[in-house]
Amino acid sequence: MTTYFPEVKKPIRYEGPDSRNPLAFKWYKADRKVGGKTMAQHLKFAVAYWHTFKGTGADPFGGPVYDRPWDVGATPLEVAHNTLDAAFEFITKLGAPYYCFHDRDIAPEGDTINETNRNLDDIVKRAKRKQRETGVKLLWGTACLFAHPRYTHGAASNPDPHVFAMAASQVKRALEATVELGGTGYVFWGGREGYISLLNTNMKQEREQIAALFHLAVDHAKKIGFKGMFFVEPKAKEPSNHQYDFDAAHTLNFLREFGLMDRFMLNIEANHATLATHSFEHELVTAAGAGKLGSLDINRGEEGVGWDTDNFAMDARSCTLAMSIILAQRGLRYGGLNFDAKVRRGSFDTIDLFYAHVAGMDAFARGLLVAQKLKDDGVLDQIVRDRYAGWRRGMGRKILQGKTTLTQLETWAARQGEPAKVSGRQEMIEGILNDYLYATKID
């Protein structure tokens, strides 16, 4: 059998924090128990098919630069077969439990819908066999509704219902493929569901069209027995000028407006948070606050660049805070941590894919350990609890219970006099967090 990653002979091992081997885990140990669950149960890492196996290194200023040994074959379908072999070899050697795909990542588009569907069926059959052989699972599937020229003016939001129908047929098949492969999630990312110019756009109707597609997907899911969760992945812009699911708050509003809350949650991507000028934590907390944090696309933006650069997430603080938010809501039932991240254009070698994923998995594994320690010690929780203590008694409680009036509040406030000035202690808290991140012994 061809080996696409000959440098990695055996699965990546755990060697512990003292190891200096970039092809070994220092923190990630799948069966290590953290707060009653194993690391594998907490972290649910998924490899993103599109970046890792289909990425070419192209950017807006230059074409493909990688020479991937699997990107060869007499026909597009043969290339897809080789890519699938490489993908399962990589995922198995890495030891990530899951993967995620767009329909067009795994199978090529044909000249007709029928040919396209045949290609997808062929690959799904093979992928199912490989999943059985390796134990690797599908986290979520999605349809690529943004790359083909027909989607230039949007997919569900297109001014032409014919294009909407093409998109619908793709969603139908991608959802069926997800069910066939046992995926627990199905993602809608609104690639071109937004506008470039308002002068030629009926925004109100375009949003209604998108909602119509979501409802059709929910109906079809019922028909084919999809028991998983639908996720919408917010993104502010790029390639559109404004994407309708701009951020978590916009998206929650959309789901509420169109009666979709019970079948949908959010898939929050770190780099998309940045594009909306939010932090990753802001988006995670917004989704979690509504009980809708379903899954995460873990990556980060390149600060000086400002695009959706999808770098690998390695930052200890951000990984720890993300894991704290996940621990607080007791995990991700349907989703996981999807590496929607690509190695840099200059990281040409296939081995760079291993370095990137190993370091990323370790960053989140350490983040989990620190987050669990913060939780066990209750330091930050206590600070927040104390800060809002006034709302758990007396008038504070009455306000939240809706048991007061403006008149009563006026009388009460007048009786109390001027409220005391209370420090928010931000710098002290940031110092405590730093102690946990960098000084407290984690082993």
| Nearest distance in Å: CB 385, ligand XLS | 36
| Rounded CA separation 173/165 (Å) | 12
| Rounded CA separation 70/54 (Å) | 10
Query: Which CB sits closer to ligand XLS, 14 or 231?
Result: 231
How do 137-142 and 185-189 pair as beta strands?
parallel
Which of Ca ion, ligand XLS, none is residue 142 near (CB under 5 to 8 Å by kind)? ligand XLS
| Nearest distance in Å: CB 439, ligand XLS | 35
Query: Which CB sits closer to ligand XLS, 176 or 308?
Result: 308
Give the active site residues: 102, 105
Q: Within a 13 Å sphere around the CA of 100, how many CA atoms are in the beta-carbon half? A: 29
Q: How far is CA 256 from CA 80, 119, 262, 344, in A?
A: 39, 37, 9, 38
| Nearest distance in Å: CB 310, ligand XLS | 7
| Nearest distance in Å: CB 190, ligand XLS | 9
Query: Which CB sits closer to Ca ion, 191 or 367?
Result: 191
| Rounded CA separation 407/30 (Å) | 58
Asked if 265 is part of the footprint of ligand XLS (rule: CB under 6 A), the reply reads no
Query: Which CB sits closer to ligand XLS, 68 or 235?
Result: 235
Asked if 105 is part of the footprint of Ca ion (rule: CB under 5 A), the reply reads no
Q: What is the DSSP letter of 437?
A: I
Q: What are the backbone angles phi and psi of residue 137, rounded to the nearest 5°?
A: -120, 160
> 47, 53, 104: which is closest to 77 by C-alpha?
104
Q: Among 269, 281, 283, 362, which residue interacts with ligand XLS (rule: CB under 6 A)? A: 269
Query: Which CB sits closer to ligand XLS, 27 or 339?
Result: 339
Asked if 45 is part of the footprint of ligand XLS (rule: CB under 6 A), the reply reads no
| Nearest distance in Å: CB 238, ligand XLS | 7
> 440, 365, 296, 322: which is closest to 31 by C-alpha?
365
Q: Which two tokens stand for residue 106?
A: 């795994």
Handedness of CA 331, 299, 239, 115 (dihedral sign): negative
Which of Ca ion, ligand XLS, none is residue 247 near (CB under 5 to 8 Å by kind)? none
Q: Are 233 and 297 in contact (CB under 8 A)?
A: yes
Residues with Cβ < 8 Å from 188, sequence gap 6 or more?
A: 142, 214, 217, 230, 231, 232, 233
Whether residue 239 is preceded by a cis peptide bond, meaning omega within 30 degrees of 0, is yes
Between 226 and 245, how does the x/- string for binding to ligand XLS read (CB under 6 A)?
Answer: -------x-x----------
Q: Are 124 and 80 in contact (CB under 8 A)?
A: no
Q: Among 163, 175, 179, 187, which residue interacts with ligand XLS (rule: CB under 6 A)? A: 187
Q: Among 99, 186, 189, 195, which residue interacts with ligand XLS (rule: CB under 6 A)? A: 189
Applying the rule CB under 5 A, the residues between 124 and 183 that interact with Ca ion are none
Asked if 247 is part of the footprint of ligand XLS (rule: CB under 6 A), the reply reads no
Query: Which CB sits closer to ligand XLS, 43 or 46?
Result: 46
Asked if 297 is part of the footprint of Ca ion (rule: CB under 5 A), the reply reads yes
Which of ligand XLS, Ca ion, none is residue 245 near (CB under 5 to 8 Å by kind)? none
Residues that bind Ca ion (CB under 5 A): 269, 271, 297, 308, 310, 340
Residues that bind ligand XLS (CB under 6 A): 102, 142, 187, 189, 233, 235, 269, 297, 308, 340
